[in-house]
Amino acid sequence: MYTPKDNPGEDFDQGFLVPQDRLNDKPVEYHSTKLPQNPDEMEKWATNYLSTEVIVKRLSVMVTTPRQWINQNDEPYLNTKGCIAIAKAFHLQIHDVEDLPIEKLIDDQGEFWIYRKRGRATFQGYTVPEIGIASTRDKLFGSNNLSEVDLVNIEKKAHTNLMNRLIKAALGLDFTWEEIEEVSKKKINQEACTRFKYKKGDKSGKTGTNSKEMIDKREEMRTMILQITNGDINAARSYCEEITSYKMKDGTEVKGKSRVDELSDAQVNFNFDKVLKDYTQIQKDIKRGK
């Protein structure tokens, strides 16, 4: 098993990072715009706000290239160089990036590790914190056998995940392939970008069917829960147990499952929308500066 000793981000362009001694002591500040009270002024403000949001999204696509996008499970995903390109274009400051303690856990499938990185992004006086997460059971790089995992890849993925989340949260970005292709005049499209094909079979020892659809859905649910709870494993387990608890017709309370791996396919399908609703609300709150 290879254990990383060097900084996994050392091969990334660090030019857009703000020196730590300049920003470490600054508090996280959320600036909310005072909305106009006059209906006509409100309409004008809303139009300008939406126009700015569209412009930011379009410019973000324009400063990237096909090699800076990844087609991950048919969804657009920025690689680290793409994140850097957008950060530089908007003078976005990424700072206070740090490694959080590695969570070393054991379940009936064996030992697995969860890497977390924390950082902040500042754009025009608005600062947002985020956490990037990756697990040794990652669909692309991971395995149920810890000795088979290249831990550098897992740590790098946590770093890339953090960069993606910071940039999207600070700039209010959310991309679809249709939008990207329209802005780039189809120069950036699914076929032109690197495609990540997940390893065959179920590497996570999950309960239920082995279909790619269920594997992906289960992993997406797990990732959202970790993001909702800021990567806190104990909080994630409590959250999972809470949403999967239910009452029978006679009023008997049935305790939920604390791990996504323990859920049946039916339980995943039934509870997925609940998790998605909470996750979506949290993303909206982040964009609003709450």
Kindly tell me if the per-residue pLDDT of 162 is higher than 90: yes
Per-position DSSP letters for 204-250, written without gaps between them: T--SS---HHHHHHHHHHHHHHHHHTTT-HHHHHHHHHHHH-EE-TT
pTM more than 0.75? no
Q: Which of 118-127, 195-204, 280-289 has the highest mean pLDDT?
A: 118-127
Say yes or no to pLDDT of 192 above 50: yes
Closest alpha carbon to 61 in 90, 86, 39, 96: 86
Q: pLDDT, tens digit, for every residue of 77-122?
A: 888 889 999 999 989 999 999 999 888 887 767 788 889 999 999 9
Q: Looking at the predicted structure, is the pLDDT value of residue 62 above 90?
A: yes
Least confident of 35-39, 130-134, 185-189: 35-39
The better pLDDT of the pair 199, 90 is held by 90
pLDDT score at 11: 32
Q: Return the bridge partners of 133, or none.
A: 116
Average pLDDT, the chain: 76
Q: What is the pLDDT, as a whole number, of residue 20?
A: 34
Look at residue 106 in the predicted model and tell me its pLDDT: 79
For residue 54, the model assigns a pLDDT of 80
pLDDT at 96: 93
When pLDDT is cut at 50, 70 and 90, the band that residue 51 belongs to is low
Single out the residue of 199, 197, 201, 179 nearest to residue 189, CA to CA. 179
Q: Is 87 in contact with 78 (CB distance < 8 Å)?
A: no
**Dihedral of alpha carbons 286, 117, 10, 156, sign:** negative
- Residue-wise pLDDT for 213-251, tens only, equals 777 788 888 888 988 888 888 888 899 999 998 877 677
- DSSP H/E element including 103: strand 103-107
Ranges of each domain in the chain: 1-205, 207-290
134 in Cβ contact with 227 (< 8 Å): no
Task: Determine the Cα–Cα distance for residues 5 and 114; give it in Å rounded to an integer.
Answer: 17
